[in-house]
Amino acid sequence: MRIRRPRRLAALASLALLPLVAAAPLAARAADPSDPGDDPSNNTKGDLTLLTGSLPSFQVGQQGWVSLIWSAGTDMCDVRVTTKSKDVTVTHPTNTGSFSSLYINSALAETNSDYTAFRLTAPTSAGTYPVEFEATFTRLKDSAVLKKSDNLVVKNVTNCSGNSGKVKETINLQVAPSSGPAVTLQTPTLQVRSGAPSWVAIAFKGNAPGLDSFRVTVTPPAGFEVVYPGDGAFGGLSQGTSLPVGATDSAGVRIDPQDSPAGTYQLPVKATWSGGSLSGTVTVKVVP
C-alpha cells in the first residue's frame, strides 16, 4: 500500500527538528558502501525507541502541544503513535485524527530520528498523571528501500510491507497548582498621537482555568474617547472568548485622545470573566 506523507504542523514552530540531508539516488538493490542502509538482521526485530524521557510540567487546566522524539532500530513505515491518559485530555493533530504520525514522513530509516506531536489539557487538580504512548509500525522487509540520506520530504515508501511492531511507553505529567492572581495585565504602557484615533491591543495572561466569557472595558479619562470593535460595549480577546492557562491574548480598543495635550494619562482597565474580574491601569503617553 502507498503511505502518504503527513502534512507539516504550523502550530509546532517552536519545536526543534533534525536537519535534513540532501537526497541521494537509490540503487535498485545494491547497497552504497558509504550508506549501507538497513541491517537485514533487524528486519523482524528492530524497534522504535522513545528518546524523550520526560514531559514539560503544566499548570492545572493548562493546554499545550508536546513532542516526543523517536529513533528507528530498523527501516520502518506506517509509524503511528496513539496517546492516551485516564485524567489528561489528549488531542492528536487534525490531519491524522486518532493518532500522531512522524513530522517529516510516516517512514523512518534505521538510526534516524523524528518526532510526533500531540496536545495535552491538564486536569484541574495538581498532581502526577501517567500518560501512555503506543507506537505501531511496519518493519520494511526490503533493506534497500530506505537509506539514512533519503529526503523523506519528497520521497514516500510505496510498498509498506513486512513484520509489524508495537511498543508502549508511559511518562508522568507533573501538574502544578495555580499561583498568584487568575489573570495578570500584560500591557503596562501605550503610546498614541494627539488628535489621532488609534487601535491598540491590551494583553492579559491566564494563570488559572475557567477564564471563560472574557471581556475587557476601558474607562476613558476626561477628553478621551474609547470605541470597541463593532461599536460594541466591550472588547473581546483576539483568539476567542476564553483565556487558556499559561496563554497570553489581547483585546483591541480604539483610543482617541482628541484634543488632549501631550502628556501621560492613566487609563483604568477592567477584565471580567465567568466568576471573576480584574481591575488595573494602563499608562497612556500622548505625543504630539
CATH superfamily placement of domain 10-176: Immunoglobulins (2.60.40.10)
Place of cell 500622548: 286
Place of cell 473581546: 236
Q: Which tens digit of pLDDT belongs to each residue from 15-35?
A: 333 332 333 333 333 444 445
183-287 — its CATH code? 2.60.40.10
Q: Which tens digit of pLDDT belongs to each residue from 103-152?
A: 999 999 999 999 999 999 999 999 999 999 999 999 998 767 788 888 88
Domain coordinates of the chain in residue numbers? 10-176, 183-287
Q: How far is CA 185 from CA 124, 177, 253, 279, in A?
A: 23, 20, 15, 9
d(C-alpha 116, C-alpha 101), whole Å: 6
User: Considering the entire predicted model, what is its pTM?
Assistant: 0.70
Place of cell 504602557: 189
183-287 matches 10-176 in CATH topology: yes
